[in-house]
Amino acid sequence: MTDTKSGQPAQPAQPAGPAGPAGPMIDLKGVSKWYGTFQVLADCSTKVEKGEVVVVCGPSGSGKSTLIKTVNGLEPFQKGEILVNGVSVGDPKTNLPRLRSQIGMVFQNFELFPHMSITENLTIGQVKVLGRSSDEAMQRGLKLLDRVGLIAQKDKFPGQLSGGQQQRVAIARALSMDPIAMLFDEPTSALDPEMINEVLDVMVDLAKEGMTMMVVTHEMGFARKVAHRVIFMDRGSIVEDCTKDEFFGTQRSERAQQFLSKILHH
């Protein structure tokens, strides 16, 4: 196996299961969602191509976390359509568990399973969902744990690890399913400042390998380094959707400019 840490040339993300159609990996078309009468998502449309890294940012309450959770069906939506690798998320006929098993997700609060050891966290999805043998799952899990630099912690429980370590395990757990795309929902927001970089480093490596990534984050350094596109959301709408250079260069919306000046100047 190639040493994934040395930043070898981008290996194409190996698709799990049948190769999808030629279209974008994630395709949102006019997605709207209401909580009662309050609209949290308003006609959101965007695409994430295969191998693309898209950063979603915006002020809190702008709907970015909700948006990313609609992609794997954790949040239902009332209007519009989402295609992941050509499969419609909102279609009741879609096998949602199967679709989700192909998309990795990393949460703000890590959400490791606290009653299981690190290795159990890494193998349970592989064994119960993908039907791998426990030996195979263990091998794969340990390889990924080594990759995120935490092989020494394999027998511990999540509660015994720092936040940064837990989040790295959570990334390894998502990768253990050999996903075709990864979703990150504010992966560093719950971390102490000195732990943010260890998590971002893992994510940068992943991006350089060509993983398709949709990342909700305020880490503009990360966006500058690896994003292809940046989406800016405000009050449930996508206000900006442009390439990284356009976004950091000449912003068109005043709202985005305000937001950037707030989070960059301290």
Nearest approach, Cβ of residue 174 and another protein (Å): 8
Distance CA 94, CA 229 (A): 29
How many binding residues for another protein (CB under 8 A)? 26
Residue 164 touches another protein, criterion: CB under 8 A: no
From the list 36-44, 45-53, 139-147, 170-178, the region that binds another protein by CB under 8 A is 170-178
Q: How far is the CB of 74 from another protein (least distance, A)?
A: 5
Q: Is residue 188 part of the contact set for another protein (CB under 8 A)?
A: no
136 makes contact with another protein (CB under 8 A) = no
Q: Counting contacts by CB under 8 A, is residue 187 touching another protein?
A: no
For residue 69, what are the contacts with CB-CB under 8 A and spacing of at least 6?
Answer: 75, 185
123 binds another protein (CB under 8 A): no
Choose one: 20-28, 97-105, 194-202, 246-254; the region binding another protein (CB under 8 A). Answer: 97-105
Contact window for another protein (CB under 8 A) among 3-11, 27-35, 110-118, 258-266 = 110-118
The answer to whether 91 contacts another protein (rule: CB under 8 A) is: no
Cα–Cα distance for residue pair 140/190, rounded to 1 Å: 27
Contact status: 98 vs another protein (CB under 8 A): yes
Q: Does 72 bind another protein (CB under 8 A)?
A: yes
124 binding another protein? (CB under 8 A): yes
Hey, what amino acid is at 146? D
- Verify binding: residue 49, another protein, rule CB under 8 A: no
What is the distance between the alpha carbons of residues 53 and 150, in angstroms, rounded to a whole number?
25
Candidate residues 18, 92, 97, 249; the one interacting with another protein per rule CB under 8 A: 97
Work out which of 40, 41, 89, 103 binds another protein, going by CB under 8 A. Answer: 103
CA 55 – CA 85 distance, rounded (Å)? 19
Q: What does each C-alpha distance from 237 to 58, 62, 106, 107, 202 come to in angstroms? A: 10, 8, 23, 22, 30
Alpha-carbon Rg of the chain, whole angstroms?
Answer: 18
Does 65 bind another protein (CB under 8 A)? Our answer is no
- Candidates 58, 61, 34, 59; CA nearest to 46 is 58
240, 250 Cβ separation under 8 angstroms:
no
Q: Are 104 and 52 in contact (CB under 8 A)?
A: no
Q: Around 211, how many Cα atoms within 13 Å sit in the side-chain half-sphere?
A: 28
Q: Which is nearer to another protein, 161 or 230 (CB)?
A: 161
Minimum CB distance to another protein smaller for 55 or for 170 = 170
Regarding 184 and contact with another protein (CB under 8 A), the answer is no
Q: How far apart are CA 125 and CA 134, in angstroms?
A: 11
Q: How far is the CB of 180 from another protein (least distance, A)?
A: 12
Count the Cβ atoms, other than its own, within 10 Å of residue 8: 11
Residues forming contacts to another protein in the complex (CB under 8 A) are 69, 72, 74, 97-98, 100-105, 107, 109, 111-115, 124-125, 128-130, 173-174, 177
